[in-house]
A = this chain, B = another copy of it.
């Protein structure tokens, strides 16, 4: 028994090494492409060349040492995913480091921020980076976004971990069919929407007057709710039209991709309009957007159109965890900033690349709390928990509660540590909140026009950890720190 377990665990480890090997080779190939691009643009090729060499070399080595196992156990898959999501950015940091003139820690911060679609930057001086590096930044976000939707809509549901990921599929209406045979189609559907969204944003941005190179980099950062802009002023550098277009595309990036697929390719409007999360999402945008616009307008900060534009831009940007800015909102008065800080804790929709807690979880939590009150009135009643017309299994509910707890506790510990290190409550609070929610900008020094460059090295490591843990919804990372998992490998 003991030896079977150990051998199975070792097989799991070799499977994850194999997976890492394949991923590294893919990124090696991509880096090679970027090396050629940098060469064509007359920019520094060394970073991409080394990344290509390491990616292809180490990738091949890991592939040979590893083993393609048919059915690794779920705990090992979780831990492997967590490991890969850290080791790919480790490689992806090389170009920033060698060609961008950043320290390796700063390069790693920028790389993790990219692959986790966070968009928090240590770049204070954008002139340092050539176009190839700015495009690489956008591309890491785009690839990170692909990774996340595939992970949460295709890979995790196969593991059917205690209702956790199955719940995401459920909330998109996929549960009526059997899951596994449809997963490939699910993956393809999501990718179609993702590509379409990217392409549409690219064209719209370009046609609205954004220089085509910047339009591309911004589009790559829009679809995954990423927020890395090639322009140091983010969308504050562009026209009102471009800003309104971004509001629309960010909004779409925060909507469940499967529901969008059924709408776009199947003409089904009702599943979207009847979806509880989509309704809540639209409601939150309208409510907080109007509230903020009203405040900005009545306090004479902007004219009417400008109040509406900046309010809805910032509300959609923070709610979807994109993190673009149409104005330096860190310079707003506290009440206007407070609205954005509050939205940091809501998050976009499940089934998109948005980060954070996500609205569907809040809906379920509110349902749970209401049921608790009812239970006091009717102690013996059996009270199933519903979302729309769907009954939510208790198991899924428990997972939602555990996730929100882990999220809140990690956020709190992160904020404490950053307050101790940085000596600034607002920076500490918002940096921790944005990192675990994969949002990007905070307030104060780390606001949308600021950067994370000035933080202490330990603060940067803490933020790297929070971005990583938040993006994977914590459990896979927590597993990696479980002594028992490592005991199995012995």
Q: Does A123 contact B (CB under 8 A)?
A: no
Q: Are A479 and B402 in contact (CB under 8 A)?
A: no
Q: What CA separation (Å) do A409 and B357 show in the bound complex?
A: 13
Contact residue among B75, B369, B488 (Cβ-Cβ distance under 8 Å from A402): B369
Question: A402 — which chain B residues lie within 8 A by C-beta?
Answer: 368-369, 372
Give the Cβ gap from A436 to chain B, nearest Cβ, in Å: 15
Residue A354 at the B interface, CB < 8 A? Answer: no
**A423 close to B (CB within 8 Å):** yes
Closest CB of chain B to A321's CB: distance in Å? 18
- The complex places the Cα of A405 from the Cα of B416 at a distance, in Å, of 20
Look across to chain B and name the residue whose beta carbon is closest to the beta carbon of A406. Answer: B369
Q: Is the CB of B416 within 8 A of A342?
A: yes
If A342-B412, A405-B365, A425-B425 touch, does A419 touch B373 (CB 8 Å cutoff)? no
Which residues of A from 406 to 442 have beta carbons under 8 Å from B?
406, 408-409, 412, 416, 419-421, 423-426, 428-429
Question: How far, in Å, is A473 (CB) from chain B's closest CB?
Answer: 12
**A334 at the binding interface (Cβ < 8 Å):** yes
Tally chain A residues at the interface, Cβ within 8 Å.
50
A478 interface hit (Cβ, 8 Å):
yes
- Tell me if B420 and A372 are in contact (CB < 8 A): no
Q: Does A389 contact B (CB under 8 A)?
A: no
A425 with B334, Cβ < 8 A, contacts A162-B379, A405-B404 known: yes
Contact check, A373 vs B334: say whether CB atoms are below 8 A apart: no
Q: Is the CB of A372 within 8 A of B475?
A: yes
Q: Which positions 386-412 of chain A face chain B at CB distance < 8 Å? A: 399, 401-402, 404-406, 408-409, 412
Q: A373-B479, A376-B78, A484-B377 are in contact. Are A335 and B162 (CB under 8 A)?
A: no
| A333 contacts partner chain B, Cβ-Cβ < 8 Å | yes
- Given contacts A408-B408, A425-B334, is CB(A162)–CB(B375) below 8 Å? yes
Q: Could you tell me the distance between the alpha carbons of A425 and B374 in the complex, rounded to whole angstroms? A: 35
What residues of chain B lie closer than 8 Å to A376, measured between beta carbons? 74-75, 78, 161-162, 475, 479
| A334 neighbours in B (Cβ, 8 Å) | 419, 423-425
With an 8 A cutoff between CB atoms, is A331 at the interface? no
Report how far A406 CA is from B365 CA in the complex, Å. Answer: 10
Within 8 A of B (CB), among A421-479: 421, 423-426, 428-429, 475, 478-479
For A374, list chain B residues within 8 Å (CB). Answer: 482, 484
Q: Which residue of B lies closest to A374 (CB)?
A: B484
Instruction: Report if A489 contacts B (CB, 8 A).
Output: no
Bound CA–CA A412/B334 (angstroms) = 16
Chain B residues near A365 (CB, 8 Å)? 405, 409
Q: In the complex, which of the residues A78, A379, A424, A485 has the most CB atoms of chain B within 10 Å of its own CB atom?
A: A379
A65 touches B (CB below 8 Å): no
B-chain residues with CB within 8 Å of residue A251 when the two chains form the complex: none
Contact B428 A425 (CB under 8 A): no
Contact A74 B379 (CB under 8 A): yes
A264 at the interface (CB under 8 A from B): no
Q: Which of B75, B162, B373, B425 contacts A482 (CB 8 A)?
A: B373
Question: Residues of B contacting A429 with CB < 8 Å?
Answer: 425, 429
Task: State the CA gap A316–B34 with chains docked (Å).
Answer: 58
Query: Can you list, as one digit per residue, whether each of A272-312 has a CB less than 8 Å from chain B (1) or not (0)?
Result: 00000000000000000000000000000000000000000
A66 to B88, CA, bound (A): 71
Return the chain B residue nearest A160 by Cβ. B379
Closest-CB distance, A160 to chain B (whole angstroms): 9
A24 at the interface (CB under 8 A from B): no
Q: Tell me if A27 counts as interface (CB < 8 A to partner B).
A: no
A249 partner residues in chain B, CB cutoff 8 A:
none
Q: How far is the CA of A179 from the CA of B405 in the complex (A)?
A: 32
Query: How far, in angstroms, from A374 to B75 measured CA to CA in the complex?
Result: 10
Residues from chain B with a CB closer than 8 A to the CB of A377 are 75, 479, 482, 484-485, 488
Determine the chain B residues whose CB is within 8 A of the CB of A333 once the complex forms.
423
With A376-B78, A376-B161 already in contact, the answer to whether A335 and B419 are too (CB < 8 A) is yes
Interface residues of A, Cβ cutoff 8 Å to B:
74-75, 78, 161-162, 333-335, 337-339, 341-342, 345, 365, 368-369, 372-377, 379, 399, 401-402, 404-406, 408-409, 412, 416, 419-421, 423-426, 428-429, 475, 478-479, 482, 484-485, 488
Sample of 26 A–B contacts (CB below 8 Å): A161-B376, A333-B423, A334-B419, A334-B423, A335-B420, A338-B425, A338-B428, A341-B416, A341-B419, A342-B412, A345-B412, A365-B405, A365-B409, A368-B402, A368-B405, A369-B402, A369-B405, A369-B406, A369-B409, A372-B399, A373-B475, A373-B479, A376-B475, A408-B408, A425-B425, A425-B429
